[in-house]
Amino acid sequence: MTGTIYLGGGGSDDEEANLWIEAFHPGLRVTVWPFARRGLEDRRSAGRWITGALERFNPSHVDVWTTTEARMDGGLGGTDIIAIPGGNTFDLLDTLQSSGLLPALRSFLDRGGLVYGGILMGADIGIARETDPNDPGLQDTTGMGLLGELDVLPHYTGALLGLARSHHARSGRGVLCLPERGGVIVKDGTIRNVHLQLRRKNHCPAHRCRRNSKTCRHHQ
């Protein structure tokens, strides 16, 4: 894999502010996969939310895929980053499995593409059973396996430590625990933690600086 993965902890765009600053640069062409929502209107709603949240980063284009029909690998030719907002992880994996988009996602990363996502990038999504109903009845819960033998546990708090330990004991795999204000960047075989803090209202995320907009040279 030559691409880059931005793994969020499942918080809001404000809670994941520094991760978004790293992931979404001005001028990027963004493709949104809201497939963690099963209903069409829910997907549209998720698409509207993330499109609005991305406005401050000045993307050149945002394409929201509400269906997978006629949307195979060729549809990603003009994409810089795929953004996968949260929802039900089993619905997400079921849609990607049945549509054939999992190989397309892997191919996109192999070509150097960028992906903003979460639990799907781990070895297996089975750890999500504690929080998400397996409504599609998935038997094969194998994830992308892009973190070696690690599974991902978003929305992490100390109350979930027992879950992480029991999952490790049962599966033999490590667990990457990400709080909602947490995030990591996976690139070239390394995992880098982004030390997140809540973005103050007047910060300048479009230019990836931490200065107040009144003092940032980009606003002068």
- Segment 51-76, tens digit of pLDDT: 999 999 999 999 999 998 756 555 78
CATH classification for the domain delimited by 4-219, as one of 3.40.50.300, 3.40.50.880, 3.30.930.10, 3.40.640.10: 3.40.50.880
Pairwise CA distance, residues 122 & 92, whole Å:
14
Query: Tell me: the pLDDT tens digits for 174-216?
Result: 999 999 998 999 999 899 999 744 444 444 444 444 434 443 4
Residue-level pLDDT at 28: 97
pLDDT of residue 72: 57
Question: At 33, is the pLDDT very low, low, confident or very high (cuts 50, 70, 90)?
Answer: very high
Model confidence at 115: pLDDT above 50: yes
